[in-house]
């Protein structure tokens, strides 16, 4: 990601070969060094939401938990409301090694 040197907002590429800040209008020319850092997999319009996908993106928090499948001692975790709102949420865990997913209830 490229950030605006003036206001710190994320800059997006435009059709003219520049990164443009949507907040303050600052422009930064895309040089060979900058273009080597980024890979465009699909073009989207500026109104669309960009979603990063893939297993290589590790954004979930981790905790110590023993995987019931492989015995690994670290797992990603997240909470999700799976029952009524007056009941506690369900904790999901995914092994960092084998990607096995299981749930825990409170």
Q: Is 86 a catalytic residue?
A: yes
Q: Please tell me which residue in 86, 89, 104, 106 is annotated as part of the active site.
A: 86
Active-site annotation holds for 89: no
The helix, strand and coil proportions of the chain, stated in percent and rounded to the nearest 5, come to 5, 30, 65
3-state secondary structure of 6: coil
* Residues contacting 34, CB < 8 A, separation 6+: 2, 19, 28
How far is 67 from 98, CA to CA, in rounded Å?
A: 9
What ranges in the chain are assigned the alpha helix state H?
A: 32-37
The active-site residue, picked from 48, 87, 89, 106, is 87
Active site residues: 86-87
């Amino acid at each position: 990601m490229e950030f605006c040197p003036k206001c710190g907002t994320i800059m997006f590429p435009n059709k003219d070969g520049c990164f443009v800040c949507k907040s303050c209008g600052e422009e930064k020319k895309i040089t060979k060094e900058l273009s080597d850092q980024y890979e465009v997999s699909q073009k989207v319009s500026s109104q669309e939401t960009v979603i990063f996908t893939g297993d290589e993106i590790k954004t979930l928090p981790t905790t110590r938990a023993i995987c019931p499948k492989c015995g690994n001692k670290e797992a990603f975790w997240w909470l999700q409301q799976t029952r009524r709102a007056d009941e506690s949420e369900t904790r999901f865990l995914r092994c960092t090694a084998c990607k096995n997913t299981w749930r825990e209830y409170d």
